[in-house]
Amino acid sequence: QNRLWIATWGGGLNLMNTASGTFTSFKNSAKDPNSISSDFVQNTYQDRDGTIWVGTYFGGLNRFDPATRKFTRIITAPAGKTKLQGNNIVALNGDAEGNLWIGTDDGGLNCLRRNTQSFEHYFNRDTKKPDIRAIFTDKSGGLWVGQSGLYRYNRQKNRFDLFTTQAGLGRDFIKGITDDNSGNLWISTSNGLVKLNPATRQASKYNTSDGLQAMEFEANAVMKTRNGQLFFGGINGFNSFYPGDIKNNTYVPPVYITGFQIFNKEAVPGKDSTLQKDISLTDHIKLNYLQSSISFNFAALNYLAPENNRFAYKLTGFDKSFNYTSTNPQATYTNLDPGEYTFTVKAANNDGVWDSRGKSITIVITPPWWQTWWFALLAVLLCAGAVLALVRYRQTLSLKKLEEEKKEEV
């Protein structure tokens, strides 16, 4: 229809006729209840019915009627569970069922149900309602939401589940989400750009060394063109690229354990040391019960954007699952009970290619002497001996008593 909607921060909403080059401006008027509710416009969305939805900061949600060119304001109401929560709207998107999803900076996530025209709210159990700045529906109808973590909507349970924390997605704030023609998700964050394969959960992270305008991106500054080109806007300009032109690093990085500490003191190989050879060549460590606090350092031999290397480590016998890290390649365990453990670490390169074998070390912590099997056996034997001696002693006393009684009878 040759219409281009332009949202501005403080200048209201503008409509450009791309055929004629003319503009129509919509601004808030205190005297007109049918004007837009705020001049600080964050985004617009046109649903399947042709309705134009406008999300504003400070003014909640607006529904625009193209025929009358009037706005209907939907703002936060203090009472009622079915009302909009949050007047600072940052993200708008629809799902495959025609519902409108609304992300805010002050009210968490809202869903305006198409059939009932009532609101449902999500992430309500959080102590502080999260800022929701990215909402995306993929080709298969999957609904994704970004905050400090990437969440996917579970329709059967009507909830959002944390999808992955790889590549910093559990730590960095998500600003925008889109997909490419191969089904990969591209996610802009407060600390770089991430490519995620939802099927394999393999993630690749890109930073300024890869050509990013900066590490930080702006909320909802993302676009995919008809020919598959992606655009991401940030604090220092924007990036554009064709995902198919991005070549992945397929090198599988070997991982090495480079350091071992006991109570934060480096263990050095030696005759009287815990280590008989360098930790990188060690596959078995024996400790006593007083050495219950240990740390491991590790590294991956990948020098292409090594700052994006990632690690997964687990202490079998203590951890229930793998722990993931990228910023601190170290694992520390304290107050370990006597027993046998296996420490395993795996590494991934900058494009998320993992060394599935990893490196493992067996750790045996011996118990104190009073908790050993031989001490327990000795204690049992001593107790049994004491009981036996007591029984024999009482038997002896009984025999002596019988003999004395017989003598008295005689």
Q: What are phi and psi for residue 377, nearest 5 degrees?
A: -65, -45
Domain assignment present for residue 276? The answer is yes
3-state secondary structure of 70: strand
Which two structure tokens, joined as six digits, stand for 357? 């074998």
Share of the chain above pLDDT 90, in %: 64
Does the pLDDT of residue 38 top 90, yes or no?
Answer: yes
Domain final residue, candidates 213, 241, 269: 241
Same domain, 306 and 292: yes
Is the pLDDT confidence value at 88 over 90? yes
**249 in a domain, yes or no?**
no
Rounded Cα distance, 2 and 18, in Å: 5
pLDDT for res 174: 94
Contact 220, 90 (CB under 8 A): yes
Residue 407: predicted pLDDT:
76
* Mean pLDDT within 14-38: 94
What is the reported pLDDT for 405?
Answer: 74
pLDDT grade, residue 410 (50/70/90)?
A: low
Residue range 321-372, pLDDT digits in tens: 999 988 789 999 999 999 999 999 999 988 888 988 899 999 999 988 777 7
What are the E-state strand segments in 207-358?
217-224, 230-234, 237-241, 255-262, 265-266, 284-287, 294-300, 310-316, 323-325, 330-333, 339-348
Note whether 333 and 363 are within 8 A (CB): no
> Are residue 201 and residue 61 in the same domain, yes or no?
yes
More confident residue, 12 or 328: 12
> How many CB atoms neighbour CB 391 within 10 A?
10
Mean pLDDT of 372-386: 82
Residue 390's domain comprises 372-409
- Does 318 lie in the same domain as 191? no
Q: Domain for residue 250, yes or no? A: no
Task: Indicate if the pLDDT at residue 108 is higher than 70.
Answer: yes
The strand order across the sheet containing 149-154 reads 134-137, 143-147, 149-154, 159-164
Q: Is residue 16 part of a domain?
A: yes
For 294, the token pair is 């240990």
- Give residue 371's pLDDT: 73
pLDDT score of 79 more than 60: no
Please report whether residue 205 resides in a domain. yes
Confidence band of 315 (pLDDT split at 50, 70, 90): very high
Mean confidence (pLDDT) of the chain: 90
154 lies in the same domain as 48: yes
Tell me which of 33-47, 132-146, 156-170, 311-325 is least confident.
156-170
201 and 64 within one domain: yes
Report pTM: 0.73
Which one has a higher pLDDT value, 248 or 93?
93
**Mean pLDDT computed over 86-92:** 94
Coil, helix or strand for 236?
coil
Phi, psi of 73 (to 5 degrees): -90, 135
pLDDT of residue 82: 63
- Whole-number pLDDT of residue 93: 96
Per-residue pLDDT, 80: 57
Q: Are residues 277 and 302 in the same domain?
A: yes
| DSSP codes, 103-171 | EESSS-EEEE-TTT--EEEESTTSSSPPP--EEEE-TTS-EEEEESEEEEEETTTTEEEEEE-GGGTTT
Residue 246 included in any domain: no
Domain boundary residue among 207, 241, 275? Answer: 241
100 in the same domain as 80: yes
In this predicted structure, the answer to whether residue 81 has a pLDDT above a threshold of 90 is no
Those residues whose C-beta lies under 8 Å from the C-beta of residue 154, and which sit 6 or more positions away, are: 160, 161
Q: Is there a single domain that holds both residue 357 and residue 381?
A: no
Q: Tell me the C-alpha distance between 391 and 156, whole Å.
A: 70
Q: Which of 214, 241, 268 is the last residue of a domain?
A: 241
Q: How many domains does the chain have?
A: 3
User: How confident is residue 204, by pLDDT bands cut at 50, 70 and 90?
Assistant: confident
User: Burial letters for 299-336: b for 16+ Cβ neighbours within 10 Å, e otherwise?
Assistant: bbebeebeebbbbbbbbeeeeeeeebebeebebebeeb
In angstroms, the CA 84 to CA 108 distance is 10
- Does residue 308 share a domain with residue 207? no
Whether 39 contacts 4, CB under 8 Å: no
In a domain, 20, yes or no: yes
* CATH, residue 266: 2.60.40.10
Asked if residue 284 and residue 148 are part of one domain, the reply reads: no
Give Cβ neighbours of residue 141 (< 8 Å, ≥ 6 apart). Answer: 95, 96
Residues 112-131: tens digit of each pLDDT: 999 998 999 998 776 678 89
Residue 394 has what pLDDT?
Answer: 84
Per-residue pLDDT band for 313 (boundaries 50, 70, 90) equals: very high
Tokens of 91: 């993200």
CA–CA distance, 401 with 362 (Å, rounded to integer): 63
Indicate whether 297 pLDDT > 80.
yes
Q: Tell which wins on pLDDT, 14 or 382.
A: 14
Pull the structure tokens for residue 301.
């031999």
DSSP 3-state helix, strand, coil percentages of the chain (rounded to 5)? 15, 40, 45
- Is the separation of the CB atoms in 59 and 35 below 8 Å? no
Residues 13 and 144 in one domain: yes
Q: What is the CATH number of the domain that holds 219?
A: 2.130.10.10
Q: Are residues 365 and 403 in the same domain?
A: no
Closest to 161 (Cα-Cα) out of 185, 176, 177, 142: 142
Contact of 261 with 295, CB cutoff 8 Å: yes
Residue 247 forms part of a structural domain: no
